[in-house]
Chains A and B, each alone.
Chain A
Amino acid sequence: MRGSDEIQSIRLALGELENRNSGQAVTLPPDCYTSEAFLELEREEIFRKEWICLGRVEEVPKAGDYFTTELIDEPLIVVRGRDDEVRVLSNVCRHRSSVIAVGGGNAKNFVCPYHAWTYGTDGQLLRAPYMDKVAEFDVTKCRLPEFATEIWQGFIYVNLDGRAKPLAPRLKSLEPLIKNYHMGEMAHQFREEQAWDTNWKCLVENFMEGYHLSFTHYETLHDVTPTRLCKKYPGGKGFTGYESHYPPKWPPRTPHHPDLTDKEQRYTMMFCVYPSHVVALTPDLINYMCMRPLGAEEVHATWGLATFDPKPKRKTVSDLHGWIADVMVEDKARLQSVRRGLKSRSVAGSPLAPPDFEGTIWDINCYLAEKLSLKTVTKSRVKRAS
């Protein structure tokens, strides 16, 4: 009962947010970040219904390559089948519900460790010991559920409820801004699973706003991408972002695709594919995170890196890893402080900083309001009814 009252008041507050124009941009109500009941709503209405990024296609280059992951209680296998198609399969045995595969690798079949039920890389059940003695059981009719999947720019997205509209059209206006980087041709370097003690939106916002760069990252990023040089570009239905420009003195970032214009070589292209896939695209690499909530104050993030250089030196990769990890340490400290602060009853809405610095947060807030505000739900009900 308390949960539904709580949600109701948050959704009404989101409705009020929708009445504002971008000149009146404000922060979300604090409960959006701390309420477990609201997170449940987000899981159902956003993470089950939207396209959620799970990783890169170069992580599964050959037939039989796979990795396992999880999205809001759904264990998943991402696998390239013999037919070269990348599929996202349920990683739960159809028999007694055991998780089947762990980690990643290359496999011909997936064998459930409990009773050795064996599935093909396309999810088809191939063998089930002694089940031939069970009348009416037909191996050929049993398969692992396959989820709606879309590949965009080398990223693999899944849609759990299978009803999301295709992703690419929603990102159409982003394409001209990133086409010269040729992300699809970049080479996967590493993937790391992380748990952050923060609400998933705090981590998305933190990645996606340039306001904190000169202050939180004075030691690490201020010289490369200072706050003052951040410039937002217009967002679209499925994304928002900004350009994080380099000062003239900063050396070129190479190697990069020859198609990149002189201008494009001088900034990092930041974008967020709603709800929770964030990317920093520099001339020479892709640094990205895919977030899925574990609780109101805990988020699972997959951090990955791909480079234009197909075979960079090992030291280059470990330097990059170290440098980004140092930046993350600074972010972790900030987000820890935000987590404590958000619980205070003194928190009131604040105006957001100018669009170039925090306009992305306003876009994300509007996206969230559109999905979850009470007013929206009423509207769509009316539409459906008529």
Chain B
Amino acid sequence: MDINAYIESGTLELYVAGQLSEEENQEVYELLQKHPELLQEVLEIEAAVVKLTAAVSPHSINFDSFKGQLGGADTKVVDLKPTKPGWISYTGWAASILLAGGLLWTLNNKTDLENQLQTAETENQYLEIQIEDARTDLAVTKNLLDAIRDKDILAVPLGGQGDYASTYAKVYWNKEDNTIYLDAEGLPNAPEGKVWQVWSLTLNPLTPTSLGTIDDFNSDDNKIFTIANANESQAFGITLEPAGGSESPTMEQLYTLGIVQTAP
């Protein structure tokens, strides 16, 4: 082959410029191995172009200024790639964590609120029960008051007897419906194993008829007891008897006694 003609063709200048095809590059490479004068030509072209292009640079840059960016050999390649979608994935992760945190917080809040609601509902029920109780108490009290105020009612004060002079009681007797209301506020609680027993009395001759024992005396709040009484009572008495009551009153334990004032 004519080496000089090849040199003059300008192919080697294009080779250095990087404007040959891959195939042509391969060809030139093989020729350069065989013909040192071609290689020398290439080296000179390259040297000239390197100088020319370098002359365009406004200033040189120190190698050390970016040496640190090379990182450790290959590892940097691995490092560089993921930096591209970096902010997207970081933002994504951050958003996920925030969302998860938010959900947990909401769930926690919900549980708290449910507990509070449960407590409030329980309190509400308790208060409703109390209101109901109070209403019932009020109704009972009103009934009692109505009963006592009835114009047909007969009030019989029972005075303390003997050693028990400080005690007292009152009987409100409605003859219409054969009921007495005993207000026993003035009696002490019955001792253990004892019970108050109410008696209806006729005076001539003195005949006691039991109206029953007040078994719930100690636990009753208002100490007003409703007792049926169909007798033609002339007096009422209250004695302290052994639990279960007695056939006839124990006169030593007669606390209060009151005579019915017959209406004029």
Bound together: no
